[in-house]
Every structure is written in structure tokens, then in C-alpha cells.
Amino acid sequence: MPATGASGQRVARGRSRLGRLAAGAAFASAALACTAFFIWRELPEGAVAGRLASALSQLARRPVGIEQAGLVFDGSGPALRARGVAIDAPGSALRFDSLLLRPIPGLTWLAGEPELRAELAGDAGRADLLLRAARELGLRGELSQVDLSLAALFAPELALSGRGDLRLALEDVSRLPRGRVELDARDGSFSAPGLPLAIPYQTLRLRAELGSARELLRLEQCRLVGPLLRAEVEGGIGAGMSLATAPLDLRIRLEVEASLREAFASAGIALGPDGSARLRVTGSAALPQVR
């Protein structure tokens, strides 16, 4: 039934307040964009690159280098463009030719939780990500054909090579992440403490939930298929202060080709006559115990 009388007036006043709030948010966003434009335009190019590199280094918890950076305006509004981005990773550096950071207008800015869209492209792959810079850093989006050596940024104990497509929906990224990760990788190798050598793979598929009340990570699916070995992993990583020290509880089914069985036997991993095994991994990622 349509609102009439006093109730209709209250609805009208409510709509008017919402309209004024939306208009105020739009005006504030426009004012911030214009202010940012004039401030950044007057800064030397080196100062812009240095400030952006410092901010990204704090977020990534790794040194980040930027060759050039500056503010640009296009049909989608203001954005910060950087070139020659290098993220220091154990053993190498991940390099991107360009990074585009664009603010996403909305009421989240007035609430102190600004959202940014980040687009990366270069030798290390491509990424289209949504960042929410609240008290807990949020990260959502996709990375395509990404260099999987970036895994060393989060788990230095792992040595992972190859290229893959990664989908993320994470909260509290700068500390202990919570959320979901999906990875489809191909044509690389995998190594971890306790393995006798790096294992080549043709496909690697992973689905995992991170940061529940009782576990840092719970595997929904983890399957590796390669020319010398096939493996399926179940289980997870228990609660702890870091992935390196948290307790492991993993169950692994292996099928090892004949040419690789001697290496596993010399590492103390018993295989059946057909090269199969069922293993239990406990301890921690830094000091795993295989039985």
C-alpha cells in the first residue's frame, strides 16, 4: 500500500537524507581526486616512485622497487601508473612492466576502508585485483600465467616453479590470511623439506580454505600429475603463528615411476612393489616428519 500522511513524509525525508549522503560522497570523492591530481602533479617523478615503493613494501612485507610512477587521468578517472616494478623474492625478483592503481569511488572511503583496483602486467604474469585497505587488508581477484616462484613470498620452505592461474578471496593478507585460494598450474616442479629432489609436474590443481578457527589451511583438493610421479594430498595445517611453525597433518597417496623409486628409497620413504605409498606427514613445514 502506498505511504500516506505522516508515514509518507518520513519516507520522503529518509530518501532525501540518502540522496544528500550519496551526493556528499560523490562530491567528496571528486574533491579528493582533484586534490590528489594537483598534489601528485607537483611532486618530482622520483618522489612519487619512492613513496609508492615504500607503501607497497609495507603491504608485501618484501622490498619493492619502482623505476617510474605518476598520476594519470583517463575515461575511468584518476589512477596511479608505475613502471618497472620489482618485488624481491627469495632467490630472485618478480618483475612487472606496469602497475595501475585506481581508486574505486564509494561510501567505503568515507568509512575509512578505501578500495583500489590493481592491474599488473609483465614477465611475472598478469593480475586484476581488488584491494580493500581497511584495518585488515583484503585482496580479491585473479592472476593469470603468473610465475609461481611468488609462493616463496608466503612459504619460503617451498620451491615451486612453473606458470599458473590463481584466484584469491582473502582477508587479513598482511598477517595470517583468511579466505579461499584456487590454483591451476602446469609444466613446473615442486620441492619441499623431506622430498629427495624437485618433482617435475605437468598439472597441479589446488583448492584450499585459509584461516579457520582451528586451522591455518584446509585442503579441499590437491592433485599433482607428472611424468615421474602422481600425488594426491588431503588434510591441512593446524593453528599457529606462521605457516613455517604450525603443525602439519597431511595424508599423501603416491604413485612413483620406476626411474624415481631409488631416490625415494634412499630418502627413507618406503614404496610398494608397484611404486605406490600412503604417507602421513606431521611436524611442521620447516621440520616435517614423514612416515
Let me know: does 28 contact 53? Beta carbons within 8 Å.
no
Of 259 and 244, which is predicted with more confidence? 259
Which residues are CB-contacts of 181 (< 8 A; sequence separation ≥ 6)? 166, 167, 168, 170, 206, 207, 208, 210
By mean pLDDT, which of 173-177, 184-188, 226-230, 255-259 is the weakest? 173-177
Residue 156 identity: P
pLDDT of 227 strictly over 90: yes
At 84-123, the pLDDT tens digits run: 998 887 767 788 999 998 888 777 666 677 888 889 999 8
Domain map (residue ranges) of the chain = 1-135, 150-291
Please name the helix (run of DSSP H) or strand (run of DSSP E) that holds residue 203, with its range, or none.
strand 199-210
At 196-224, the pLDDT tens digits run: 788 999 999 999 998 887 888 999 999 99
Q: How far apart are CA 248 and CA 218, in angstroms?
A: 10
Nearest C-alpha neighbor of 219 from the set 178, 243, 250, 179: 250
For all residues of the chain together, what is the average pLDDT?
A: 80
Cell of 117: 583496483
For 28, phi then psi, to 5°, come to -60, -40
How confident is residue 282, by pLDDT bands cut at 50, 70 and 90? very high
How confident is residue 288, by pLDDT bands cut at 50, 70 and 90? confident
> What was the pLDDT predicted at 91?
67
> What was the pLDDT predicted at 21?
45
> What was the pLDDT predicted at 15?
43
The full DSSP string for 126-149 is: EEEEEEEESSSEEEEEEEEEEEGG
> What was the pLDDT predicted at 249?
94
Cell of 20: 544528500
Let me know: does 178 contact 211? Beta carbons within 8 Å.
yes
Give me the mean pLDDT over the 64-88 stretch: 85
How confident is residue 74, by pLDDT bands cut at 50, 70 and 90? confident
Of 174 and 72, which is predicted with more confidence? 72
How confident is residue 44, by pLDDT bands cut at 50, 70 and 90? low
Task: Give bridge partners of residue 201 from the DSSP assignment.
Answer: 188
